[in-house]
A = this chain, B = another copy of it.
Amino acid sequence: MPRPGLTIAAGELAERFGLILQGDATRQVDGVGTLAGAGPTQLSFLSNPRYRSQLADSAAGVVVVRAADAEGVSRDLLIAGDPYVAFARIAALFEPARPIEAGVHPSAVVHPDADVHPDASIGPHVSIGARSRISAGAVLGPGCVVGEDCEIGAASTLVARVTLVRRVRLGQRVLVHPGAVLGADGFGLALDRGGDEPHWIKVPQLGGVRVGDDCEIGANTTIDRGAIEDTVLEHDVRLDNQIQIAHNVRVGAHTAMAGCVAVAGSTTIGRYCMIGGAAGIAGHLEICDRVMVTAMTLVTHSIREPGEYSSGTPLMDSRSWRRNAVRFKQLDALARRLRLPTKGNE
């Protein structure tokens, strides 16, 4: 993926990003690649120890490594405290620039009471509702729908086909991927047992959604607006694709969630948490700062201690699994035979 035209010397990369060069400072780099795939004019990196064995054979011109991985290696290296961070910064140099075209595309439909900054870019087939405000440098890609009473902060981007339903406020430099829906009605229902046939009545969802600066929201992720108060993402929250955030949830700054996580209503999650893919978090819980949850775990109670949490059973071939899983139904009987108290060792 070389960006046509850009070539930069290893020595200049070292200087620009505060790295230590081991080898030839004049080595020219014109792109990035994986250890296995990079060629002699490309830069690669080694961060995950899983790939350490590929370092010797890689054809990459320059590799970013930790100091510990540089010892005794006789190829051109850049040494970084965190090679992945350094790589991220270098790779950004080679990302094709995508100039912003300020202005409103003629096919867009903007409500007369909306306020669109002249330096914002409003793409084809976008619609913007009453009393919504789009700040300078914001980009709304094709097919985005912004309802009423929304705000999109400076330099935020809705890539394409994003929906902000109503009362959604995004901070600055927020990035929202296609298909995401923010500000839909929270799932608030009350069962009316009054008549012959009990039926659901809808609880009005009067709140909004607030998203802090530098958040990223993945494709087809949904964040409902609050029932009364707002659903809140603090700054630098990073959500992968197909995540469901229910009404009145609050997610602390710098927390990241992998794809397909579901968080039920009114739960508060702390700062610097990392939630593994497809994990579920029940409603009305409090999760403290720096909690890690492994993939597909179900969190059913509040967590007050930082650390890593899990549920589930190990992967097995199905025949062995069936033989053992059926015994899960006898666990209590087993424990009773061994006279284990109900609350025992964990």
Contact = CB atoms under 8 A, between A and B. Distances in A.
Interface stretch (A5-13, A67-75, A259-267): A259-267
Interface in A83-124: 84-85, 87-89, 91-92, 94-95, 98, 105, 107, 109, 123-124
Nearest to A205: B95
B331 A324 contact: yes
Nearest to A307: B317
A34 interface: yes
A328 B340 CA distance: 12
Interface in A200-255: 200-204, 206-207, 214, 216, 218-220, 222, 224, 228-229, 236, 238, 240-242, 244, 246, 254
Interface in A170-215: 175, 177-179, 181, 184-185, 187-194, 197-204, 206-207, 214
A295 B329 CA distance: 19
B329 A333 contact: no
A140 interface: no
Interface residues of A, number: 136
- Chain A interface main SS type: loop
A112 to B, nearest CB: 13
A258 to B, nearest CB: 7
A141 interface: yes
A28 interface: no
A114 to B, nearest CB: 13
A294 interface: yes
A137 interface: no
Contacts of A156: none
A24 interface: no
A190 B109 contact: no
A238 B185 CA distance: 12
Contact of A323 (B159, B327, B332): B332
10 contacts: A82-B190, A82-B191, A87-B190, A199-B236, A222-B242, A241-B244, A301-B315, A314-B325, A326-B342, A330-B344
